[in-house]
Structure 1
Amino acid sequence: MRRVGLGAIISIVFGCACAPVDEPQLPTASVRSTQFATPPPPVTDPVPSGEQLTALFAASVNYSVREEDRARLFDGPTERNVSLARAWGAQPDPQHIEFTSVEVTGPDTVDASGKGSFGGLDSYSVGPIPFVRFENEWKVSRAFACRVVGAFDGPDACA
C-alpha cells in the first residue's frame, strides 16, 4: 500500500479550486433581418400578359410583401387600400393562381382566367378575375377584392 502525503492530498483538493473559472456569459440577442419580399415591377403594357397578372395577383396576397407595397397593387389611393391589403392577404394558406388568358373587357379593364391550386388538390379553373388600369399601371380591381373580402371580413376592410 502506498502512502500519499498530506501535501499531495491538499494539492489535489485545492488544485481543482485554483483552475481558471469561466467568465459569466452575457446574454446574447438573436437578431433577425426584417427582409420583405419585393413587389413585382409595375405593369404598364397596353395589355398585360397572364404571367404579369399572375405575379401581380400573387404579390397582392403575399404577407411577406410589405403591407404598404401590397396596398399599391389595388386601384385607387394607396392609403385607402391598406386595410384592404391587410384583409386580402390574411389567408392562412392562399391558393396559387396562374393566369393563362387575358381578355380585354374595356378601355382600362381586362379579365384574367387560368388555373388555381390549393394544398395538394388537383388544379381547377379560376376566373375571370378583373384587373384595371389606374394611373397607367395595371392593378387588382379594388371593387372585386372588396366583394371577396366583404363576404368574409365585413365591409370594414374597404371603408
Structure 2
Amino acid sequence: MRVRKAAIGASALVAIATAGACSSVDDIESRDPTVFVQSTQFAPPPAPITDLVPTAEQLTALYNATTNYSIREEDPARLLDGPSDQTLPIARAWGAQPSPQYIQFTTVEPVGPDMINAAGQGHLQRMAPYPVGPVPFVRSGNEWKLSRAFVCSGLFLVAPQVCD
C-alpha cells in the first residue's frame, strides 16, 4: 500500500514537472535576470604636473584624483611619491575611505627644494567648508605628487600595515 501511494505521488510530481516544462513561453512568468555590470570605461587621471611651481587648481585635481573611484586604481598610485608597485596598496587604502573629502586648494607655498605645501578648503558631505592644510606635495621624477608620508599619516589608524 505504501509503495503504491509513493508511486502515485511520484507520478504526480513527474506529471506536474513535465507539464511545467512543456508549457508555452507565454504561460511562464517572465523574469528579469540580475545582471552585474563592471565598467570598462575609466575617467582619465589628471595630466602630470611638470611646472616649476604648480597652481592651486592643478594640485586640487591631483589630490582629488587620489580618492576618485572612476579612474583606474593604478593611476592614483602614480600620483603618490615613490615607486608605483610600492604605492599601489597605499593608494588602494587611501581611496577606500568611506566618505572621502573633496579639497579645493587656494594657496601654494614653496617650502624647500622640490617641496610645496597647499592649503584651502575641505568639503565633506553636508558639512560646512573647513580649512585644510598644509598638505605637502613633492617633486619626483620631474612631476609633482602627493606626499606619501602625508597619506601614510592619514592611514596610520585605519591601515598602518600598508605603509610599512
TM range (shorter): 0.7 to 0.9
4+ residue runs of structure 1 moved beyond 3 angstroms? 21-25, 27-33
Structure 2 counterpart of 1:63: 69
Which of 143, 157, 162 is equivalent to 1:157?
162
Q: Percent of pairs identical after alignment?
A: 52
Q: Are 1:112 and 1:130, in contact at CA under 8 Å, matched by a contact in 2?
A: yes
1:116 to 2:122 alignment: yes
Q: Which runs of 5+ in 2 are unaligned?
A: 1-23
Structure 2 counterpart of 1:127 = 133
- Please provide the CA RMSD for this pair: 2.1
Q: Secondary structure at the match of 2:121?
A: strand
What do the CA deviations read for 1:110-139 (whole angstroms, capped 9, x no partner)? 000000111111111000000000000000
User: SS at the partner of 1:83?
Assistant: helix
Residue type matched to 1:36 in 2? F
Within a 5 Å distance, the mapping from 1:3-152 to structure 2 comes to 22=25, 30=35, 32=37, 33-152=39-158
Pick closer, same or farther for the CA change 1:100–1:34 going to 2, 3 Å. same
Q: Which runs of 5+ in 1 are unaligned?
A: 1-20
Looking at structure 2, the residues matched to 34 and 43 of structure 1 have their Cα atoms a distance apart, in angstroms, of 26
Kept in 2, the 8 Å contact 1:150–1:157? The answer is: no
Partner deviation per Cα, 1:70-94 (whole Å, 9 max, x = no partner): 1000011000101100111111121
Q: Which structure: larger Rg?
A: 1
Question: Aligned partner of 2:106: which letter?
Answer: T
SS in structure 2 opposite 1:152?
Answer: coil
Shift of 1:29: 8.1
Output the CA distance in 1 between the equivalents of 2:151 and 2:33. Answer: 44
Range moving further from structure 2, 130-139 or 117-126: 117-126
Aligned length: 139
What amino acid does structure 2 have at the position aligned with 1:46? L
